[in-house]
Structure 1
Amino acid sequence: MLRSSKAGATQVQPTAPVPAQTIRFTTPVVETPGIFLLTGWLWRIIRALVLLPFQFPVSVAAVAVSVGAYLGFGWLGLAVLWTVLDLGLLVWWRRWPHSFKAHVALRVLATWRRFWIYRRHWQPVLVVSGLAESYLERQYLPQIRGVTCSAWADRVRVKLVAGTSPSEFENRVAELAHGFGAPSCRVEVRGPRDLILEFPRRDTLADPIDALSVPDDPQDVDLSGLPVGIGQDGEPWKLRLHGTHVLTVGVTGAGKGSVLWSAIRAMVPAIGKGTAEVWAIDPKRMELSYGRALFARYADAADEAVSLLEEAVSAMQERAERYAGRQRTHVPSVRDPFVVVVLDEVAFLTAYHPDRDIRRRAENAIATLTSQGRSVGFCVLAALQDPRKEVLNLRNLFPDKIALRLDEASQVDMVLGDGARDCGANAHLIDPDLPGVAFVKLEGSPVPVRVRAAFVTDTDIDHMAAEPAAAGVGD
């Protein structure tokens, strides 16, 4: 610091600070000897050749037999061998198409898609989606352990990198689906560091489903597995009512009526015989009123609806008192029929009705039925639009839940439970042009399943109501 005096004044002149010294550390670069690189490549080639017969036994055997035929009989022997093989495959395909598809076609498709779709795009898709891990400047990727194909989807078995969790894949199902060109992606955990990525090749639920046929014999009605639609795998979707309660949630036009009417339709033979009864509550007077002849009890006004619920509670308690100490499970019979309380727009009674006493009585009755009715043959099949707790705080009393098209992503976990959306249950993304498509969370099953309910027309309901009405079911 310099000091100067002028006219008796002292001025302080600041000086520029000394620039800080920059110290650079350089990491020494050590070149890997070529012998080590060559040894690594040789080890990979030998390992691949040793594992090849175990990974692709049919392909390796076909190549070995072909080489043996060529060496032993020349080109003529090879041509005869492949001609006989082609004829055998043709006969197999024409005579036993399902067996040929399972053992040949789908395996060939799985091999093709393993290398052309997944192996080829595996690294870029996982790196861009943030699923690649780095340590000491090395990149670690989950490994593909195998690919299998079903009639509608690819199942990619993956070995995780040590230290990662399946939740990282569950949080990126959208990125994986778009990265591999699939409509969706579902994650299934098989064990430690072992999971399955399921990629549908096409949407098997894009076409509407006509009302399913009604069994002729009441003995064929299985109340623990009523066929109400089709699952994404093409198998029948069977809804369990006996021994549980079901909550169906979806916005207007999502297809709640398809679920309700498909379940009622599957019970028609048992209704006609008297071993099953439907007690219906329809506050809108539009959805269930068309089939009143099918119902043993029916109510639409709020006070009548609450009275019906309280009658169901009384009947349930009377039956429980008779069963006490004598019977632990319910067997449907004419004396003690299986009773399904179908409750459409349950929020009208539990949240929207202006009379507080009506809301309180309805909530108490529903809570009693859902907490005590399973073992004595009473089931509540309820439909709802808004799944928030302030609308219906009894969601946890419904073991089985169905999520149709929803308004918000947060509502998926409200209906199906925490983590359902991470497993691929994107009910908020269901196309509005696909009514009846839903995700189902069954009691004891951690993975939601995509399904579609059959559409029951007014004409179907007329035919359903004909025989039960003649038998006096609705009297």
Structure 2
Amino acid sequence: MFRKLPGDEAQHLVSTTPDTAVVFRPAVVRTPAFVTFVIFAWRLFAGSVRLFWRHPIASAVVAVPCAVAWLYGWLQSVVLIAVAVTAPALWCVAHRPSFLRLVGWRLLAFWRLVWVYRRHWQPVMIVSGLGRHLRGRDYLPHLMRIRCTSWADVVTVRMLHGQAVKDWADRIDHLAHGFGARSCRVSIARAGRLLLLFPRHDPLAVPLPALPIPDEVSVGPVQVGTREDGAPWLLKVHGTHVLVAGATGAGKGSVIWSTVRGLLPAVRAGLAQIWALDPKRMELSFGRALFGERYAATPESCADLLEAAVEVMQERADRFAGVRRSHVPTVEDPFVLVVVDEVAFLTAYQSDKGLKLRISAALATLTTQGRAVGVGVLAALQDPRKEVMNIRNLFPDRIALRLDESEQVDMVLGDGARDRGALADHISPVPRQGAGVGFVRLEASPDPIRVRAAYVSDDAIRAMVEAVAA
């Protein structure tokens, strides 16, 4: 009645009699106790060495007092702890940045590694589908390292063999909620390794006042705001073209006026010119005196001004041919920045087909040939769809402020930008919280950068006009 079956053959056995008992007894190999003790001792030693190597400061904080108490008694250990607590506290009070850089963020990283990430790593990986449970064993991506900054955790992960970056990008919501963060962004560290960025708080929640007019005469990059990591947001306008997309009230005017403010010293020195196209007659008209005769509001005058910029570009191209390959601003050949507010009104919503063709042809010519001879375009629009702005791919640098739909993020910043964490459709519509906040995709990097442009008030624009008039 009973028969021994080797291996996995028992699961394929079909019984024709219901009272037949199928007994499967796997082969058992007994490991000597000495080998087991050696294996556990080696794992304990290797884990201790790895812990001390990866987290020397945090390990020393625990190990040194214990060693002193073992060798000299608990009283000396208490004195050592008191000195060890008092000295860092004085250091933190005296010079907080160096304390945080050398000690504080490392201790925070160790704490969050133990309490947040290692504690929840296995369930988050399995539930989100990034890990696999096969034949009683968990195959998980390897949590390699965590680094803390003033506002976020940067987690280095080694993917499983066969995984792709898109597998992680599709699950950023799972990762963010699993580890208690507002959002998650994915970037590539190197082949097989990813960087996961989990913000702990929002450093761009407070609006930025208008930046001071720089003293240095330069055509860029100009500072227009602040990046999420605390570094200044420098926008390159000379030698490139910039597209700014955002819904109504998203802060497109903040980007435009901050750029104008940064170029003001070069305008005074005659090294830069700003040509303004303002079909709405609202945003740029407030500082019309800054532009002089290079200001257009009606569709006819906008077409004429764009064609005049094309003539300047072609004249320079004829003179520079065979002489130079890049533009250096001079008083004779200044950098020309063509600012177009609400470009869709001129290209897509223009009822006059003749004007529409003239404007579209001029913009296409400027964006394809202008930057080599010192003619740049800074265009703003609300709707980034292809039928509205069919030359959006001719802008190397793009800025996505608050958008209405998730699909619009990839339209502006390129395919996969939203999956990598550019959640421009989640920016708050409340002006104080979300105006000027956006994501930037630079020509040299596909990874989006979260930024906030400084708000230039009406009084600041009046002061700029008075400064130029003086």
TM-score under structure 1 normalisation?
0.89
2:343 paired residue among 343, 346, 352:
346
Cα deviation, residue 122, structure 1: 1.2
| Alpha carbons of structure 1 residues 36 and 244: separation in structure 2 relative to 1, 3 Å | farther
1:155 equivalent in structure 2: 154
Q: Distance in 2 between matches of 1:209 and 1:32?
A: 70
Cα deviation, residue 26, structure 1: 7.0
Q: Does 1:384 align with 2:381?
A: yes
1:3 equivalent in structure 2: none
Q: Distance in 2 between matches of 1:29 and 1:222?
A: 81
Secondary structure at 1:198's aligned position in 2? strand
- Structure 1 runs of 4+ aligned residues shifted over 4 Å read 20-27, 31-43
Q: Distance in 2 between matches of 1:291 and 1:374?
A: 25
Q: Which moved more, 1:379-388 or 1:325-334?
A: 325-334
- Unmatched 5+ residue regions in structure 2? 1-14
Alignment of 1:63-462 (within 5 A): 63-215=62-214, 217=215, 220-296=216-292, 297-433=294-430, 434-462=434-462
Cα deviation, residue 63, structure 1: 4.2
1:60 equivalent in structure 2: 59
| Alpha carbons of structure 1 residues 29 and 237: separation in structure 2 relative to 1, 3 Å | farther
Q: Distance in 2 between matches of 1:352 and 1:463?
A: 34
Contact 2:57 2:103 in 1 (8 A): no
Cα deviation, residue 385, structure 1: 1.0
Cα deviation, residue 135, structure 1: 3.5
Q: Which moved more, 1:24-33 or 1:200-209?
A: 24-33
Q: Distance in 1 between matches of 2:462 and 2:422?
A: 35
Contact 1:281 1:298 in 2 (8 A): yes
| Alpha carbons of structure 1 residues 32 and 204: separation in structure 2 relative to 1, 3 Å | farther
Q: Distance in 2 between matches of 1:43 and 1:71?
A: 24
Cα deviation, residue 84, structure 1: 2.8
Q: Distance in 2 between matches of 1:294 and 1:304?
A: 18
Contact 1:224 1:243 in 2 (8 A): no
Q: Distance in 1 between matches of 2:447 and 2:262?
A: 25
Cα deviation, residue 360, structure 1: 0.8
Larger radius of gyration: 1
**Residue type of the alignment partner of 1:250:** G
Offset from partner CA, 1:159-203 (integer Å, 9 cap, x none): 111121221111111111111111111111111221111000001
Contact 1:353 1:359 in 2 (8 A): yes
Please tell me the root mean square deviation across aligned C-alpha atoms, in Å.
2.3
Q: Distance in 2 between matches of 1:281 and 1:275?
A: 20
Q: Distance in 2 between matches of 1:280 and 1:315?
A: 15
Q: Distance in 2 between matches of 1:264 and 1:161?
A: 48
**Residue type of the alignment partner of 1:238:** L
Q: Distance in 2 between matches of 1:367 and 1:412?
A: 22
Q: Which moved more, 1:82-91 or 1:189-198?
A: 82-91
Contact 1:160 1:194 in 2 (8 A): yes
**Residue type of the alignment partner of 1:58:** I
Contact 1:440 1:451 in 2 (8 A): yes
Cα deviation, residue 89, structure 1: 1.4
- Unmatched 5+ residue regions in structure 1? 1-19, 471-475
Cα deviation, residue 42, structure 1: 5.0
Cα deviation, residue 431, structure 1: 1.1
TM-score under structure 2 normalisation?
0.90
| Alpha carbons of structure 1 residues 73 and 438: separation in structure 2 relative to 1, 3 Å | same
Cα deviation, residue 447, structure 1: 0.3
